[in-house]
């Protein structure tokens, strides 16, 4: 590790289910330059942003243009177009992206918790083959789920 750190950043996002209809997300970032705090509420099952507030530099922003946006494919573009440039300079857009990512990862965690824990490639392959057949967007979504990976080698989506 460095003898002298010039810049330090720590960032945290946490999402939890409030009830059957709502998720709550809290984001926090602190670095050598500034601090950000954010809170967001998301409806279930639509994953629609129903409340959003970000604090930076002692000011609070409600970002009304993002209310109603659905967390899912295309959300990064929506955030980029709805966050004003002054806040982008403070990387508020990336901060909100991370809060949205956490919502997706809450559900990813649920799905992946069913993955086989053994090192048996056969079992693992059966699980991921099935997963990708059900959600074809996952194919080639990362190196592990590429067509060259033993997990999906020879996959035929027509059979799904």
Partner 1 sequence: MENFIRNKTVWIWKDRDMVIVHGDLDDDIYALEIEIEIDEDRNIISDIKAKWIREENSQCFRAIPPLREIIGSGIEPGSIEAIYRRLSRSSCRHFANLIKEGLFSYLISKRYGYLKEKRGGGTKVEVSERDGRFERSIARRDEAGEFASIIDLHIHTYPRSKCSVMSVEEAIKEAKRIGLNGICLTEHQVMWKREEVEELIERYGLLVLRGVEITTDQGDMLVFGMELEAEEIMKIERLRDIVLKGGGFMIACHPFRGFLTFGLKELGITVESALKRPIIQNADAVEVLNSRVTDDENRFALEVAKKADRLITGGSDAHDIGSVGRYATAFKDPIRTEEDLIQALKSGRYNPIVFK
- Which chain residues interact with partner 1 by CB under 8 A? 1-17, 30-35, 55, 57-58, 91, 94, 98, 101-102, 105-106, 108-110, 112, 115, 119, 121, 124, 128, 140-146, 149-151
Q: Which residue's structure tokens are 């942003």?
A: 49
CB closer to partner 1 out of 52 and 152: 152
Bridge-partner residues for 41, per DSSP?
24, 51
- State the nearest-atom distance from the C-beta of 2 to partner 1, in Å: 3
CB closer to partner 1 out of 35 and 62: 35
Other beta carbons within 10 Å of 94: 16
- State the nearest-atom distance from the C-beta of 133 to partner 1, in Å: 16
- State the nearest-atom distance from the C-beta of 68 to partner 1, in Å: 23
- State the nearest-atom distance from the C-beta of 39 to partner 1, in Å: 14
Q: What is the DSSP secondary structure assignment for residue 63, as one 8-state letter?
A: -
**Six token digits for residue 106:** 């809450």
Contact 152, 129 (CB under 8 A): yes
Q: What is the DSSP secondary structure assignment for residue 22, as one 8-state letter?
A: E
């Amino acid at each position: 590790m460095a003898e002298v750190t010039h810049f330090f950043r720590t960032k945290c996002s946490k999402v939890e289910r409030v009830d059957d209809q709502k998720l709550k997300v809290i984001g926090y970032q602190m670095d050598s330059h500034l601090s950000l705090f954010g809170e967001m509420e998301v409806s279930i099952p639509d994953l629609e942003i129903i409340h959003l507030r970000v604090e930076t530099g002692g000011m609070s922003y409600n970002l009304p243009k993002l209310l109603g946006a659905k967390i899912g494919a295309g959300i990064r573009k929506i955030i980029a177009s709805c966050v004003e440039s002054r806040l982008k300079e403070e990387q508020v857009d990336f901060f909100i992206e991370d809060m949205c990512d956490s919502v997706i990862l809450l559900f990813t965690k649920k799905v992946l918790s069913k993955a086989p824990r053994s090192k048996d490639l056969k079992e693992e392959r059966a699980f991921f083959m099935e997963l990708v057949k059900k959600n074809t967007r996952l194919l080639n979504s990362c190196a592990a789920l590429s067509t060259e990976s033993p997990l999906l080698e020879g996959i035929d989506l027509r059979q799904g």
